[in-house]
Structure 1
Amino acid sequence: MGEEIDKGATESRRVTRLIRLPEVQHRVGLGRSTIYRWMAEGKFPKPVQLGGYSVAWAEDEVEAWITTRLK
């Protein structure tokens, strides 16, 4: 008899891509100041700290924000 296969282990995992500020600006059509102001107001996703002063946004969070704005 063969071993049972765990379906959870065989499903492909989605890798979250991190994108930097210039790409975020390009995708959403907003300037740096607006993005940071809206983050402070809770209107835009917050970035993750990469180390030092480097930050990046989770691509799927930015895409979800764009989708909600289009509705």
Structure 2
Amino acid sequence: MRELLRTNDPTVIAFSTALLRAEDIDCFVLDVHMSVLEGSIGLLPRRVMVAEPDLFRARAILRDNDVGEYLSE
């Protein structure tokens, strides 16, 4: 699995995962339950992970839908 994006914005996570799943790209969101440690203030970013073979296509999909600013390098 490779990191596709990292953000604190839950709407970006939801939109990105919906776009990827619509294109049959499996994705997994990490750090979802970190709010227990941080006190629910949204300080720690969440990461969206995809399989290595899907990374190029997933990045293209997110760029085409104006989510490119959140992509990991």
Normalized against structure 2, the TM-score is what?
0.31
Say which structure is richer in strand.
Answer: 2
Bigger radius of gyration, 1 or 2?
1
Greater relative CO, 1 or 2 (CA 8 Å, sep 6+): 2
Give the alignment's TM-score, normalised by structure 1. 0.32
